[in-house]
């Protein structure tokens, strides 16, 4: 069955499904506002989505998981604290005991290790030190009418992010403007430690130790890097993905379209902004998706608004995780059928839920439509239903539906 052939007699059109998406996003934002991972608003939003999905699926459930939401972004102030303390030790080292510079290097090492493991690798290093909460994933299944031979999982995330203070205050590059000097300070302090330990010239070490003070305002600014008291509404990031996944099931069900051998799953993940914890929990809870003999693929639909920047990610997790080229192809081909040449590229920074799937060995890719600068609304209070671009939603919905039908017929190649 071709997607194109279903359009002629569709009772529920793609345009209807686009309206459903826009209304659904608006409704969730109006009812529950910001949805921090593990909070009541995230849960209630998921319960509302679950109720809606019942009409379009054979089975729908919410699976809970434990999470320490504040751990993920804590690497920012922790790294800043390590740098400031390291600078302090260098001052002592340059005046009294140069061995103190070894402690300084150890602190810098600890800050960098935290940054790499939490942010670049999404490891749960700081998690045990933060409050544990419960979040959930909503999973809606439209079953195959016959034997299940293929499975496609379409995922958005329901939680929203804490506001990135400097992106909001200083614009697109605001967070980099603040992080840049702090990273320069880290390098300078490491150099100061090395000079203190290795050089015989005490004067230079003392001068450099004094110079470290210049970076303290940058370290201080890191404490406000994310504002945990103000979470954003996340209409675009990522209720757009949730409702596009939901709209695919709506289109199929309301037009009486069933696949004989392909199961279609819409997943509304929790805790993406807490370090893709929901999708990680999902694949930990479902090892069968890796080995039940059903050809399974995963598509993360994330932050759909800026058509000119639409992209398919073949590398995720700041380039550390490879997604599946065949799934990228499926999306690219679907785009071409709808007159679009979508670039296949690496995510510039951060991660989508597709990384969890790829790490679990499930062929995966992500489709995103956001200015990678990043956009001014990215993780700020500007991410509201007022800025939804329905035309872009409709295009990605078409692409996703096209990919689902193609996958049902041909699998991934
Ligand atoms: Zn986000």
Q: How far is the CA of 184 from the centre of ligand 1 (A)?
A: 26
Model pLDDT, residue 129: 94
Cα maximum dimension of the chain: 84
Assess if residue 40 is contained within a domain.
yes
Q: How far is the CA of 293 from the centre of ligand 1 (A)?
A: 33
Domain termination site, one of 207, 226, 245: 226
| 114-128, 149-163, 233-247, 351-365: range with lowest mean pLDDT | 114-128
Q: How far is the CA of 104 from the centre of ligand 1 (A)?
A: 34
Shared domain for 176 and 289, answered yes or no, is no
pLDDT band with cut points at 50, 70 and 90 for residue 370: very high
Q: How far is the CA of 192 from the centre of ligand 1 (A)?
A: 36
Model pLDDT, residue 181: 95
Q: How far is the CA of 237 from the centre of ligand 1 (A)?
A: 5
Q: How far is the CA of 160 from the centre of ligand 1 (A)?
A: 7
Tally of structural domains, the chain: 2
Q: How far is the CA of 308 from the centre of ligand 1 (A)?
A: 19
Model pLDDT, residue 94: 87
Work out the average pLDDT over 214-232: 95
- Asked if the model's pLDDT at residue 37 lies above 90, the reply is yes
Shared domain for 197 and 65, answered yes or no, is no
Model pLDDT, residue 406: 98
- Asked if the model's pLDDT at residue 193 lies above 90, the reply is yes
What residues contact 189, with CB distance under 8 A and at least 6 apart? Answer: 83, 86, 87, 90, 104, 108, 212, 215
Shared domain for 144 and 193, answered yes or no, is no
- Asked if the model's pLDDT at residue 118 lies above 90, the reply is no
Shared domain for 388 and 274, answered yes or no, is yes
Shared domain for 47 and 191, answered yes or no, is no
What residues contact 225, with CB distance under 8 A and at least 6 apart? Answer: 73, 76, 77, 164, 165, 166, 175, 178, 179
Model pLDDT, residue 53: 98
- Asked if the model's pLDDT at residue 96 lies above 90, the reply is no
CB atoms within 10 A of CB 8: 6
- Asked if the model's pLDDT at residue 202 lies above 90, the reply is no
For the chain, the straight-line distance linking the first and the last C-alpha, in angstroms and rounded, comes to 18
Shared domain for 82 and 196, answered yes or no, is yes
Model pLDDT, residue 303: 98
| 108-122, 258-272, 363-377: range with lowest mean pLDDT | 108-122
Work out the average pLDDT over 160-174: 95
Shared domain for 222 and 270, answered yes or no, is no
Q: How far is the CA of 66 from the centre of ligand 1 (A)?
A: 20
Work out the average pLDDT over 109-133: 92
Q: How far is the CA of 80 from the centre of ligand 1 (A)?
A: 23
Domain termination site, one of 226, 247, 268: 226
The enclosing domain of 384 has a CATH number of: 3.40.630.10
Q: How far is the CA of 335 from the centre of ligand 1 (A)?
A: 24
Q: How far is the CA of 212 from the centre of ligand 1 (A)?
A: 33
Shared domain for 284 and 316, answered yes or no, is yes
Closest CA to 307 of 266, 345, 352, 340: 340
Exposure of 96 by Cβ count < 10 A (0-12 exposed, 13-18 middle, 19+ buried)?
exposed
Instruction: Please provide the average confidence, as pLDDT, over all residues in the chain.
Output: 96
Q: How confident is the model over 384-411, as pLDDT tens digits?
A: 999 999 999 999 999 999 999 999 999 9
**pTM, entire model:** 0.94
- Asked if the model's pLDDT at residue 188 lies above 90, the reply is yes
Q: How confident is the model over 228-254, as pLDDT tens digits?
A: 999 999 999 999 999 999 999 999 999
Assess if residue 245 is contained within a domain.
yes
Model pLDDT, residue 341: 97
Model pLDDT, residue 377: 97
pLDDT band with cut points at 50, 70 and 90 for residue 99: confident
Q: How many residues does the chain have?
A: 413
Domain termination site, one of 184, 206, 226: 226
pLDDT band with cut points at 50, 70 and 90 for residue 354: very high
In whole angstroms, what is the distance from residue 282 CA to residue 63 CA?
A: 8
- Asked if the model's pLDDT at residue 119 lies above 90, the reply is no
Assess if residue 335 is contained within a domain.
yes
Sign of torsion, CA 47 50 55 59?
negative
Model pLDDT, residue 6: 96
pLDDT band with cut points at 50, 70 and 90 for residue 97: confident
Q: How far is the CA of 78 from the centre of ligand 1 (A)?
A: 21
Share of the chain above pLDDT 90, in %: 92
Q: How far is the CA of 351 from the centre of ligand 1 (A)?
A: 9
Model pLDDT, residue 95: 86
Q: Which residue range is the domain that position 389 belongs to?
A: 3-69+131-161+232-410
Q: How confident is the model over 52-87, as pLDDT tens digits?
A: 999 999 999 999 999 999 999 999 999 999 999 999
Q: How far is the CA of 375 from the centre of ligand 1 (A)?
A: 11
Work out the average pLDDT over 34-57: 98
Q: How confident is the model over 308-342, as pLDDT tens digits?
A: 999 999 999 999 999 999 999 999 999 999 999 99
Assess if residue 126 is contained within a domain.
no
Enter the DSSP assignment of 323.
-
Q: Please provide residue 364's backbone torsions phi and psi, each rounded to the nearest 5 degrees.
A: -150, 160
List strand residue ranges (DSSP E) for 143-176, in order. 150-157, 162-164
Shared domain for 10 and 155, answered yes or no, is yes
Return the SS3 of 71.
Answer: coil
Shared domain for 29 and 140, answered yes or no, is yes
Shared domain for 150 and 56, answered yes or no, is yes
Give the CA distances from residue 282 to residues 35, 152, 276, in Å, rounded to whole numbers and listed in that order: 19, 15, 10
Shared domain for 176 and 38, answered yes or no, is no
Q: How far is the CA of 275 from the centre of ligand 1 (A)?
A: 10
Q: How confident is the model over 259-275, as pLDDT tens digits?
A: 999 999 999 999 999 99
Assess if residue 329 is contained within a domain.
yes
């Amino acid at each position: 069955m071709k997607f194109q052939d279903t359009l002629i007699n569709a009772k529920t059109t793609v345009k209807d499904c686009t309206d459903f998406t826009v209304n659904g996003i608006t409704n969730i934002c109006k009812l529950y506002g910001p949805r921090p991972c593990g909070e009541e608003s995230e849960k209630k939003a998921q319960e509302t989505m679950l109720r809606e999905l019942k009409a379009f699926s054979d089975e729908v459930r919410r699976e809970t998981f434990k999470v320490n939401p504040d751990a993920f972004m804590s690497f920012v102030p922790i790294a800043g604290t390590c740098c400031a303390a390291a600078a302090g030790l260098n001052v002592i080292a340059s005046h009294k005991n140069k061995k103190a510079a070894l402690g300084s290097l150890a602190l810098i090492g600890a800050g960098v290790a935290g940054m790499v493991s939490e942010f670049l690798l999404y490891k749960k290093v700081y998690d045990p030190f933060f409050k544990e909460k419960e979040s959930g994933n909503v999973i809606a299944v439209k079953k195959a009418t016959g034997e299940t031979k293929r499975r496609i999982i379409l995922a958005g995330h329901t939680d929203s992010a804490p506001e990135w203070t400097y992106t909001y205050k200083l614009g697109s590059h605001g967070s980099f403007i603040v992080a840049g000097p702090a990273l320069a300070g880290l390098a300078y302090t490491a150099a100061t430690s090395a000079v203190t330990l290795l050089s015989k010239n005490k004067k230079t070490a003392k001068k450099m130790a004094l110079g470290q003070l210049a970076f303290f305002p940058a370290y201080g600014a890191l404490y406000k890097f994310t504002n945990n008291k103000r979470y954003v509404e996340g209409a675009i990031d990522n209720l757009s993905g949730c409702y596009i996944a939901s709209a695919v099931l709506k289109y199929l069900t309301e037009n009486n379209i069933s696949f004989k051998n392909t199961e279609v799953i819409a997943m509304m993940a929790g805790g993406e902004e807490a370090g893709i914890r929901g999708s990680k929990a999902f694949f930990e809870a479902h090892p069968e998706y890796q080995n039940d003999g059903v050809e399974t693929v995963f598509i993360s639909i994330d932050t759909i608004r800026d058509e000119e920047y639409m992209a398919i990610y073949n590398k995720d997790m700041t380039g550390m995780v490879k997604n599946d080229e065949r799934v990228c192809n499926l999306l690219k081909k679907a785009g071409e059928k709808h007159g679009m040449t979508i670039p296949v590229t690496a995510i510039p920074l951060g991660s989508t839920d597709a990384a969890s799937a790829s790490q679990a060995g499930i062929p995966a890719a992500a489709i995103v439509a956001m200015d990678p600068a990043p956009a001014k609304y990215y993780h700020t209070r500007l991410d509201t239903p007022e800025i939804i671009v329905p035309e872009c939603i409709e295009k990605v919905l078409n692409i996703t539906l096209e990919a689902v039908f193609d996958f049902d017929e041909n699998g991934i190649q």
